[in-house]
């Protein structure tokens, strides 16, 4: 069974107010602020998350519970440039990761991990894409 939880940390956040964030709002239930262990980069107009084992490196976002999971993930896979038949050339890969909520509950949720080099990207030190003041 496919996990029905998704961690979003960038242009899919509710406050991003674009077509895909509106689609996600309409097709999910907001569970609250959350974070995962990793590094966040500003790729161009969008962020890219890279997992880390350093517990002090955090990516902040939101946890949502998906409705009609297969349909929503199919739309998001297309939006994120993820092709499950060719993961190596995908812009992002979708995988499950441990996500921690403000309420102290952790979930095994889907998230999109950046699948390209970050050598030229700017690290978002705050771990919060919408908080650009902390690059």
Q: How do residues 50-89 score in pLDDT, each as one tens digit?
A: 999 999 999 999 999 999 999 999 999 999 999 999 999 9
pLDDT of residue 122: 95
Is 103's pLDDT higher than 60? yes
Which pLDDT band, with edges at 50, 70 and 90, does 132 fall under? low
pTM listed for this prediction: 0.90
pLDDT range class, residue 135, cuts 50, 70, 90: very low
Q: How many CA atoms lie within 13 A of 48 on its CB side?
A: 22
């Amino acid at each position: 069974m496919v996990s029905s939880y998704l961690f979003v940390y960038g242009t899919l956040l509710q406050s991003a107010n674009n077509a895909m964030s509106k689609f996600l709002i309409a097709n999910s239930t907001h569970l609250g602020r959350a974070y995962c262990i990793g590094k966040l980069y500003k790729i161009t107009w969008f962020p890219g998350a890279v997992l880390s084992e350093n517990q002090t490196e955090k990516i902040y976002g939101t946890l949502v519970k998906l409705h009609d999971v297969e349909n929503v993930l199919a739309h998001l896979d297309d939006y994120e440039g993820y092709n499950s038949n060719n993961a190596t050339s995908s812009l992002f890969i979708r995988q499950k990761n441990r996500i921690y909520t403000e309420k102290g509950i952790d979930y095994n949720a889907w998230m999109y991990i950046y699948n390209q080099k970050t050598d030229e990207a700017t690290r978002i030190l705050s771990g919060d894409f919408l908080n650009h003041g902390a690059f």
